[in-house]
Amino acid sequence: MRHLPEREYDPNLLVGLDTSDDAGVYKLTEDLAMIQTVDFFTPIVDDPYMFGQIAAANSLSDVYAMGGRPTTVMNIVGFPIAVLGHDVLAEILKGAADKVKESGAVLVGGHSIDDAEPKFGLSVTGLVHPSKVFKNVGAKPGDALVLTKQIGVGIQTTAIKKDKLTPEQLQLVSDTMAELNKTAAECLEGFSPNAVTDVTGFGLLGHAAEMAKGTGNITIHVNFDDVPLLPGTKELAKEGIVPGGSKANHRWIKEDVKYGDHLEQWQQHILCDAVTSGGLLVSMPKEEAEEYIKRLHDKGRQHASIVGRVTELNDKPIMAN
Residue 22 vs 273, nearer CB to Co ion = 22
Q: How far is the CB of 271 from Co ion (least distance, A)?
A: 18
Residue 198 vs 288, nearer CB to Co ion = 198
Give residues in contact with Co ion (CB under 5 A): 22, 39, 62, 198
| Three-state secondary structure readout of the chain | CCCCCCCCCCCCEEECHHHCCCCEEEEEECCEEEEEEEEEECCCCCCHHHHHHHHHHHHHHHHHHCCCEEEEEEEEEEECHHHHHHHHHHHHHHHHHHHHHHHCCEEEEEEEEECCCCEEEEEEEEEECHHHCCCCCCCCCCEEEEECCCECHHHHHHHHHCCCCCHHHHHHHHHHHHCCCHHHHHCCCCCCCCEEEECCCCHHHHHHHHHHHHHCCEEEEECHHHCCECCCHHHHHHCCCCCHHHHHHHHHCHHHEEECCCCCHHHHHHHCCCCCCCCEEEEEEHHHHHHHHHHHHHCCCCCCEEEEEEEECECECEEEC
Residue 65 vs 230, nearer CB to Co ion = 65
Q: How far is the CB of 58 from Co ion (least distance, A)?
A: 7
Residue of 113, 4, 117, 116 lying closest to 51 (CA atoms): 117
Residue 62 vs 288, nearer CB to Co ion = 62
Q: How far is the CB of 203 from Co ion (least distance, A)?
A: 12
Q: How far is the CB of 201 from Co ion (least distance, A)?
A: 8
Q: How far is the CB of 63 from Co ion (least distance, A)?
A: 10
Q: How far is the CB of 264 from Co ion (least distance, A)?
A: 29
Residue 20 vs 265, nearer CB to Co ion = 20
Q: How far is the CB of 181 from Co ion (least distance, A)?
A: 10
Q: How far is the CB of 252 from Co ion (least distance, A)?
A: 17
CA distances from 35 to 73, 83, 269 (A): 12, 36, 33
- Angle subtended by helix axes 48-65 and 167-178, to nearest 10: 40
Q: How far is the CB of 282 from Co ion (least distance, A)?
A: 13
Determine the Cα–Cα distance for residues 153 and 150; give it in Å rounded to an integer. 8
- Angle subtended by helix axes 167-178 and 153-161, to nearest 10: 130
Q: Which residue is nearest to Co ion (CB)?
A: 22
